[in-house]
Structure 1
């Protein structure tokens, strides 16, 4: 009996000790690769020799030359080969255009400037977009269905034949079916998104299950009875196969639903580009949304085509990206100050796409006018990849020469390559303009530079990561997600702490570690740039260095709130409004 009691006591003690012991972390620290490089360099890459050496004495190529090893890594980011090859062609065309601009062909080139609006050809149903699409751009058609119409469709096409967006609208006795997809030469057609969705509402292929795009549902559907109007204006009720209580099952709000197109009567379809995806309205009401996919981004669109069983009455593309007319007095006020010859307090690297002319001008007129920026204590530079459109590149080149604040990247601006921009910012802040702190932000973010400086002066300058920190997050394993990460890319269930991408600050020692790690090929490339920085900082910590993570809830990842330090998703108009409120009311007050 005593022996049994002793055994029970030992077992009980073991269980207690086990329960009290700390549980193992679901995120093992990333390998610091102490034994040497984790990858190697390829001897060459198609198109790379056309990009190097960069243009001599160009202030827009200061970090260009130092990026070459990153492009040659055998474990390069997805899309690197295509991004380099297409950039090589873009660079060749740009250098020819720049040479021509200095000759008698300047007048001809002036006629190729980006236009804010273009009209489509009503006979062919086609419209050529001179400089692609950007946020807020819209394509609007007014048409009439032909007698016995079965369907019509619209395609947004890239310069190399890729289908950035295909929308197919089928008309039948059972109602209207909208199908959306994209196509690239490398991947073919992606997964079709349908409205109304095929299958049960709760199924994985249901558009109702997808996350909202710019706050809008993927499918604006009235489940149950759907209404189709015929030419004689009789109303036919078609009973859907969805359960009436789908709303309580899925947790979605009520979706209105009357996709009303009457045969023989004019109707209006508008496709517009948001921050996160394309949206379609019919007769002024939102119907469908389609999130941007990799290699299917709005700036790629070179041509739009409407076709099918409809007669076009009007076809207009407006709010297109366009650069401003040059006013030299205005340029003198907005031009970047010369780079300081001593260490600067803060470098701000701004991610921007080539045709985002209006966004860059809005930043130059607002928070880039802080005294700290104008004096050179804070240096701001736009980091921008080349565009596949020759006119955009020419406008971008002119802009870079005028304002002196653009750093061109030796690749085309695909989303999968933005991590290379992060490394480029670190290179710029450690090798080109030595900075005590390095900040990354986006061209649709309003940054209160004075508050950032104030916070940094109160912080420990060693091993600093400052921003809105995500301490507990896991990879997206859904292949349909823009942020999908496979287990091969990241095998762990959780990420290390990372700062949300619209804006964060790192100290100089971390930036130097990032640059050195990629020079020595000991750091992993990761396509989500903000998470990548968190992974690299974890490796910095694993190397025995001190890390100081400071989170600030005033960095707003989505939108704006009072007393903000950073407000994201701000249009050029809102940027100007925020700046005016700061100057007149001396408080961080949002405009919408």
Structure 2
């Protein structure tokens, strides 16, 4: 009897569920809802027209997204994968991910800067292979990446003063110019020039710092104009200091873009000083204290200006006082800088560039053996750590090798650490990077020139590396 009672209860519950479900309306899908209730349905007149235009643009974007990606032959891609020469085990290990990334780089939906990165990489890759064939046999060959470079007693001519920077800039690198503004022009400029490839008619200007002087009688307001230039985009949007109409309060590395308070006091003092007499007196000692305390740059008065590279941008300090900051712009990172140009109305006493990247301890055999990455052959990997780096960041990589990369889990091979680095537009940097990869065995080269917009490829490369080490 109990069994029959239990069966009847179950049947009743089933009937209740069936009946209740039949009265529940069918859930409308998201697609059906938005199809039946388009945005702007209740609008009329001009709003309806705007909605139609937006709908058309949206449909065009959707059509573009739905387009099936196809393979493309970017200029230089074949040169990067013409790996017909014989490679040693160390060289093959540095190109482990390189060989697997061609399918990713040749897609039509590749990242925006892919074509340029590949084209430039193909040029420097050819140079690297030539250097590899001719010079790499002597691993103790002297290198040309000094910690500092200097030029002194240089007077600006029509072409300006030029100081080469062999291996680019890194964070905390600085350029110090000691000079005396002249009166033969109303301005002078300091330019950071980028690396130039053989087929480029003109190199990019990573930063132009142009100073307009206050004039012989200090009647003009001094102003600094900062800008960049590339072949593709031309001159960018200039930033002035002071810029009285600007409301930009953004900071770079925590520093204001323009020290407007000091400039404001300078302008006020300038108006008061115009009534005190002729500033062009023969007694220069009377002019210098007042002028140097109020103006950034004054004709006939020496100054010391230091332009240094921070994490987010360049910063200018004049006579020990912060004046301007300028955020890095796309494809114009500090590592790209290859020389300093100084032009215009300026007598240069000296130019000092220091804090440059140096491939330290690369040729100390005992030390290199201690820091060399352990072999991963026939070893089950527990964790892979990928580190993003740029070609000329030698010192920071050495810091990691000497610190936490010495943990037992890393030295035993349970955890692998690899630096993922794109090629550099500077020939010397690539040559040093290649030798570093062979000595320490922890570098994976990427088949493109390092640009910030291509960083996503390094993320994918880490995944590819993880699969390769487990297969």
In the alignment, which residue of structure 2 is the partner of 1:184?
Answer: 230
Cα 1:166/1:418, change in 2 over 3 Å: same
RMSD: 2.6
Alignment check: 8 A CA contact 1:113 1:395 kept: no
Q: For 1:117, which of 144, 148, 173 is the aligned residue?
A: 148
Q: How many residues align?
A: 372
Q: Does 1:158 align with 2:194?
A: yes
Gaps of 5+ in 1: 1-32, 203-207, 238-256, 435-592
Q: Does 1:95 align with 2:148?
A: no
Task: State how far apart, in whole Å, the 2-side matches of 1:394 and 1:84 are.
Answer: 18
Task: State how far apart, in whole Å, the 1-side matches of 2:102 and 2:302 are.
Answer: 55
Q: For 2:266, which of 226, 229, 232 is the aligned residue?
A: 226
Q: Does 1:299 align with 2:341?
A: no
Cα 1:360/1:131, change in 2 over 3 Å: same
After TM superposition, the score normalised by the length of structure 2 is: 0.74
Alignment check: 8 A CA contact 2:188 2:343 kept: yes
Q: For 2:251, which of 202, 212, 220 is the aligned residue?
A: 212
Alignment check: 8 A CA contact 2:368 2:440 kept: yes
Task: State how far apart, in whole Å, the 1-side matches of 2:230 and 2:296 are.
Answer: 32
Q: For 1:50, which of 79, 92, 98 is the aligned residue?
A: 79
Alignment check: 8 A CA contact 1:120 1:317 kept: no
Q: Does 1:171 align with 2:208?
A: no
Q: Does 1:381 align with 2:418?
A: yes
Task: State how far apart, in whole Å, the 1-side matches of 2:459 and 2:381 are.
Answer: 19
Deviations 1:529-586 (A, max 9, x none): xxxxxxxxxxxxxxxxxxxxxxxxxxxxxxxxxxxxxxxxxxxxxxxxxxxxxxxxxx
In the alignment, which residue of structure 2 is the partner of 1:427?
Answer: 464
Q: Does 1:318 align with 2:354?
A: yes
Gaps of 5+ in 2: 1-61, 197-202, 274-278
Deviations 1:137-176 (A, max 9, x none): 1111110111365211011111221111111111123322
Deviation at 1:102, TM superposition (A): 4.5
* Richer in helix (by share): 2
In the alignment, which residue of structure 1 is the partner of 2:455?
Answer: 418
Cα 1:428/1:152, change in 2 over 3 Å: same
In the alignment, which residue of structure 1 is the partner of 2:98?
Answer: 64
In the alignment, which residue of structure 1 is the partner of 2:432?
Answer: 395
Which sits farther off after the overlay, 373-382 or 50-59? 50-59
In the alignment, which residue of structure 2 is the partner of 1:195?
Answer: 241
Task: State how far apart, in whole Å, the 2-side matches of 1:428 and 1:335 are.
Answer: 18
Higher-Rg structure is: 2
Deviations 1:489-520 (A, max 9, x none): xxxxxxxxxxxxxxxxxxxxxxxxxxxxxxxx
* Secondary structure of the corresponding residue to residue 355 of structure 1: coil
Q: How does 1:204-353 map to 2 (within 5 A)?
A: 208-209=248-249, 211-222=250-261, 224-227=264-267, 228=270, 258-325=294-361, 326-353=363-390
Task: State how far apart, in whole Å, the 2-side matches of 1:111 and 1:143 are.
Answer: 33
Deviation at 1:412, TM superposition (A): 0.1
Cα 1:47/1:286, change in 2 over 3 Å: same
Deviations 1:152-209 (A, max 9, x none): 101111122111111111112332211111111111111111111152x43xxxxx43
Task: State how far apart, in whole Å, the 2-side matches of 1:376 and 1:81 are.
Answer: 37
Alignment check: 8 A CA contact 2:420 2:443 kept: yes
* Secondary structure of the corresponding residue to residue 101 of structure 2: helix
In the alignment, which residue of structure 2 is the partner of 1:30?
Answer: none
Q: How does 1:512-527 map to 2 (within 5 A)?
A: none
Task: State how far apart, in whole Å, the 2-side matches of 1:413 and 1:95 are.
Answer: 18
Alignment check: 8 A CA contact 2:315 2:324 kept: yes
Alignment check: 8 A CA contact 2:213 2:299 kept: no
Deviation at 1:261, TM superposition (A): 2.9
Alignment check: 8 A CA contact 1:39 1:75 kept: no
Cα 1:143/1:408, change in 2 over 3 Å: same
In the alignment, which residue of structure 2 is the partner of 1:363?
Answer: 400
Task: State how far apart, in whole Å, the 2-side matches of 1:341 and 1:180 are.
Answer: 55
Task: State how far apart, in whole Å, the 2-side matches of 1:300 and 1:331 are.
Answer: 28
